[in-house]
Amino acid sequence: MKMAAFWSKGSHFNQTGGSKLTVAGLIKAAAMLLAAGILGNWFLSEVKQAKINKKPWYSPYLSVPGLLILLALSLPVIAWLVQK
């Protein structure tokens, strides 16, 4: 199957018939990227602080940004379990 035919036949990524670039969509994407950057930098500073203080490797994951990242990574599994 050719890729063009794959994308045009209503694949998972093309269920809406194509995506429209809107200002609201750009603002949402920018907000998500900004939030991810802030959370990532916050977590990285926790990792650096843990290394300076010679804490165990898992201590950054028990901080607020670490728990938020773990929660975000586990959301698909939680959603799958709730649907079952």
CB atoms near residue 43 (< 10 Å): 19
Q: What is the pLDDT of residues 23-74, one digit of tens each?
A: 999 999 999 999 999 999 999 999 999 999 999 999 999 999 999 999 999 9
- For residue 1, what pLDDT is reported? 46
pLDDT digits (tens, 9 = 90+) for 4-31: 555 555 555 555 555 678 999 999 999 9
| DSSP-based helix, strand, coil % in the chain, nearest 5 | 75, 0, 25
Predicted TM-score of the model (pTM): 0.69
